[in-house]
Amino acid sequence: MKQLSTLTALLMAAGLAGCGGDVATNSDFTAVDPTQPVSDWQLVWSDEFEGTTIDRRKWTLEVNCRGGGNQEQQCYTDNPENAYVSNGTLKIVALPAEDGAPLPYTSARLNTKYQGDWKYGRFEIRAKMPQGQGSWPAVWMLPTDEVYGGWPKSGEIDIMEAVNLKTVDEEGNAESKIYGTLHYGRDWPNNVNSGKSYTLPNGANPADGFHTYAMEWQEGEFRWYVDGYLYQTQMASQVRFNSRGEAIGLRHRGWFAEYFNIITGNLETQWNNAPFDQRFHLLLNLAVGGNWPENVNNGGIDAEAFANGQVLEVEYVRVYQCNANPLTGKGCETIRAGYKDEETLVTGLAPIPSPPSSGVAQNLTIFDGTPNPNWPAWDCCGGSTPALVEDADRGTVFEFLVGPQPTVNGFISRSAFITPPGVASPFDASPLIENGSISFDMQVVSAPSNPASVWLFKVESNENTTFVELPITASSEGVAPVTGQWQSYTFPLQMLSDAGLDLSAIDVVMIFPAWDTGNGAVYRVDNVKIAAPASASPELVIFTDGQNPDWPMWDCCGGSTPIEVMDDEQHGVVAEFSVGAAPTVMGFNNRSPLGSGEAFDAAALLSEGVVQFEVKVVSSPANPDSSWLFKIEAAGGDSAVELPLSAGNAGQAPVTGQWATYTFSIQSLFDAGLDISAIDVLMVFPAWGTGEGAVYRMDNVRIFNPNATGDGSLSLFRDNINPDWTLWDCCAGSTPQVVDVGAPYGNVAQFEILGWPETVLGFLAKEGVSFDASALLANGSVSFDMRVVSPPANPASSWLFKIESAGAATAVELPLAAGNGGQAPVTGEWQRYSFPLQTLFDAGLDISDITVLMVFPAWGTGQGAVYQIDNAQIANN
As annotated, the active-site residues are: 156, 161
Query: How far is C-alpha 117 from the chain's CA centre?
Result: 37
d(CA 534, CA 492): 16
Distance between CA 547 and CA 551 in Å, rounded?
A: 7
Residues 6+ apart with CB under 8 A from 810: 804, 844, 845, 846
CA Rg value for the chain: 35
Q: Which residues pair with 487 in a beta bridge?
A: 442
DSSP-assigned states of every residue in 302-355: -HHHHTT-EEEEEEEEEEEEETT-TTTT-S-----TTTTSTTTBPP--PPPPPP
Burial code of 501-511, b = ≥16 C-beta within 10 A, e = fewer? bbbbbbbbbbb
- What is the C-alpha to C-alpha distance for residues 268 and 274, in angstroms, rounded to an integer? 12
**CA-to-CA dists, residue 497 to 17, 500, 531, angstroms:** 33, 5, 15
Cα distance from N-terminal residue to C-terminal residue, the chain: 52
Residues 6+ apart with CB under 8 A from 78: 61, 63, 108
Nearest to 529 by CA among 480, 470, 459: 459
Give the Cα separation of 43 and 320 in Å (integer): 4
For residue 826, which of 871, 786, 783, 870 has the smallest C-alpha distance? 786
> Left (φ > 0), alpha (ψ -120 to 50) or beta: where does 548 sit?
beta
Tell me the C-alpha distance between 799 and 814, whole Å.
Answer: 9
Rounded CA separation 767/764 (Å): 9
- Cβ(717)–Cβ(871) below 8 Å: yes
CA–CA distances in Å: residue 313 to residues 74, 242, 302 = 18, 52, 20
Is residue 197 packed enough to be buried (19+ CB in 10 Å), middle (13-18) or exposed (0-12)? buried
SS3 (DSSP) at 46: strand
The string of DSSP codes covering 756-804 is -----EEEEEPTT--B--GGGTTTEEEEEEEEEEE--S-TT--EEEEEE
Helix, coil or strand: residue 830: strand
Compute, in degrees rounded to 10, the torsion defined by CA atoms 48, 53, 59, 64. 140
CA 267 – CA 18 distance, rounded (Å): 29
User: What secondary structure, in 3-state letters, does 457-479 show?
Assistant: EEEEECCCCEEEEEEHHHCCCCC
Closest to 855 measured CA to CA, from 810, 809, 824, 821: 824
* Cα dihedral sign, 245-248-253-256: positive
**Residue ranges of E strands in 392-533:** 395-401, 409-412, 437-446, 455-461, 466-471, 486-492, 506-513, 522-531
